[in-house]
Amino acid sequence: MTIIKPITTEKAVRLIEAENTILFQVGFKDRKEKIKKEFEKMFNVKVDKVRTLIKANKKFAYIKLDKKNPAIDIATKLGMI
């Protein structure tokens, strides 16, 4: 399983509003391409870019969406906002 759970910190919410980027915890060994494909399939949106961060032995993915797909819609659907 690639995408584990959404992150709902203040910084994550600010990224959703300012940069159209949504933050998820993902599987530790998953690659950016796999994360991108699964996210596009799961939410039926276009992903521009995926950046990853490993912190405290967990992997996080910053998923920047296409301008046509607002990240706030997905966050609302998931109950983050």
Helices (H) and strands (E) in the chain, counts: 3, 4
Predicted confidence at residue 80, as pLDDT, reads 83
Structural domains in the chain plus CATH codes:
3-78 (3.30.70.330)
**pLDDT mean over 8-14:** 94
The structure tokens listed for 15 are 């990224």
pLDDT digits (tens, 9 = 90+) for 39-75: 999 999 999 999 999 999 999 999 999 999 999 999 9
Quote the CA–CA distance of 13 and 5 in Å, as a whole number: 14
Predicted confidence at residue 22, as pLDDT, reads 97
pLDDT digits (tens, 9 = 90+) for 28-39: 999 999 999 999
The structure tokens listed for 77 are 């659907």
Predicted confidence at residue 1, as pLDDT, reads 66
**Residues 44 and 35: beta-carbon distance below 8 Å:** no
H-state helical runs in 1-81: 10-19, 32-43, 71-78
